[in-house]
Structure 1
Amino acid sequence: MHIREFWNQLSPQTQQWLIDNPGSVMVPRTVTTIIKEQTGDDSAVDIHGATVLTDEDRAFIREQARRVRSDATEG
């Protein structure tokens, strides 16, 4: 999955789930299904319907989490 490419297509709730779980290597089936519905992405899933996030995906999500925390402390 390439979260960076799809970030702006994700609902605020989906973005928040990812931000709340920045270290997750696996995105559960329910969240994977939501992401696929929101983005049209057809990335591979495992036998349980979950998606494995790449190191790049996790780094991007951690970056977004830091940005959100920074915005919250400044505002």
Structure 2
Amino acid sequence: MTNISSIWTRIDPAVQQWVLANPGCVVLPRTLVNRVESTIGESLHADDHGEYWFTGEELVFLKARRRAQELGGFTAGGQAGMRRDEHAEMLDR
């Protein structure tokens, strides 16, 4: 089964940014699932509605990516830049 952490660097940067900008989201909407699958050429094993539910492990990975972006000044894809994700601290509550 494909895991978000294993394909992160191959995911479209716009999708990466959406995921990081929506920290409360536990499901990837069908339209974004379609973009990811077409980009990586693999299935995300979506549910009957075409949505992909993040596992607990994936949510931990995404939280770490948000934190790295916030504290280290990295963009979604890992390049240097200064963007603060103000919603990231909501995950710590």
TM norm structure 2: 0.70
Structure with the greater alpha carbon radius of gyration? 2
Larger RCO: 1 or 2 (CA < 8 Å, sep 6+): 1
Aligned residue runs from structure 1 range 1-75, under 5 A: 1-72=2-73
Q: State the Cα RMSD in Å.
A: 1.7
Q: CA deviation at 1:58?
A: 0.9
Unmatched 5+ stretches in structure 1:
none
Aligned counterparts of 2:23 and 2:41: Cα–Cα separation in 1? 22
Q: 1:7 and 1:23 mapped to 2: Cα distance?
A: 18
Q: Shift in Å at residue 71 of structure 1? A: 2.2
State the number of aligned residues: 74
Runs of 4+ in 1 over 4 A off after TM superposition: none
TM-score relative to the length of structure 1: 0.84
The worse-fitting range, judged by mean Cα deviation, of 52-61 and 34-43 is 34-43
